[in-house]
Structure 1
């Protein structure tokens, strides 16, 4: 398959046991086309998105192309608390070839739709935040006219216009435009927005598109009940939820290895509490982690954060 590669099992390594105590002993590296439809069991499908062409176009720090494998290598060493009946698959990586971001997003969309049709729960490892457009298109292709709510943990709206070209800063604008063409309601909640990371025009676009958002000042444990209420109200009005976590939304104290770092971001605890609300709703259909940039990571800290988030979701979904 063009723009696709199977994961080599050697990427998954760590402490050995005879009881599959670690995730590297639980995971199976497969090709998507070979996956059988899951029958009455929980199947988690990890898929890489090795692309930072959108980050490059958006004048960010490149390096997120290597994000998927960095997350895998960190996750491999984590303990396995999944049941014996749960299947964990590594379905390979979508690769951006010849700087062709648009084709890469189409390939991602096709494979997301295929994974959902096989009754798996996809977790996509990025890669720039342009991952969101291809990911959403795949969900839309599978669900048809169902109402899909997008929840984005991020410092940025990523609602920049595509008047010149698509980038890592345009995915939710593109999703909104697609909704407009279909005469559908754009349901978008962004948690962790910073005024020092979005210009006045982006706030105007967010207002015009009726985007719901919480700024960082109100996205923390001091406002937990308020955050939970916002999430529950948003989720109640949609049929399914697609969640995307941009690692650059976290403070660089937790996530230095990203394309656009800032010390002013949010903390992991409020994200975990939010994920609990989303998962408990039973409406979460797919999730991704964006902007993992190992080039600038320190002691694998950001990769560990990304792996911890994946570990939490796969064990609570």
Structure 2
């Protein structure tokens, strides 16, 4: 049996925010897709109050990767340990610890320790695994630090809203319309271009051009993770319009005794520094909230209505 080699790295960042705020951001992994640029989606599979099992999707060098992570929370000492269930693409196993230390009433120090365990593979394999872990770790620390330091503004800059329609038709037909985003330019008027790649079943990379009601064109790129048996498609924009710092969402199709509810859920963080450039001099955060709510709500409701019409038309044909 090849000997295991453990490579340990440590990264630190000083944060102008209370330790409790920083710890809650690290503990709340389900919200990471809205806060961490490379994080796409996090599903909490199990949680007993201290130990949890998470399925995580993220971008890495232009590719979408996925893994299961086991975490244990220690809120009193503000530590969280984690380990990946299976080796990564380089054959390395990743373990680590998040540590949050108070450095005053409104300052803290965030540390990320990584243990990269490599069995065989040679120095090149270990170097690639370490480089990947270091790159992701630095990005996570920087993003969490920025979010923590603007936490007092975060509620005002964040929107969470949903649009829904009722459908008399099969849930599978509605889901199929939402899944086949490559067909949207011929079906949805505000979509002029839609390119989809699906390197593995259920994980799509979508590049799309859309036109808003005022004639502006937006080019966005998203990763979509599809759960057909649950009737869900979660998505994270990796290239956002100028007014948004982050945008995640979910399409869901839920059948019941009398029909189907099709919904579009959006979570958005505004890019405050671009508000006046996009909406004009004197525009405020409140103006941006109304604009984004109306724009995204209108587009998603139009898509849901077209999915409803599509499902109804197919049912009548059968």
* Shorter-chain TM-score above 0.5: no
More strand by percentage? 2
Higher relative contact order (CA 8 A, sep 6+): 1
More helix by percentage? 1
- TM-score range with shorter-chain normalisation? under 0.3
Q: Could you state the TM-score of these two structures normalised by the residue count of structure 2?
A: 0.23
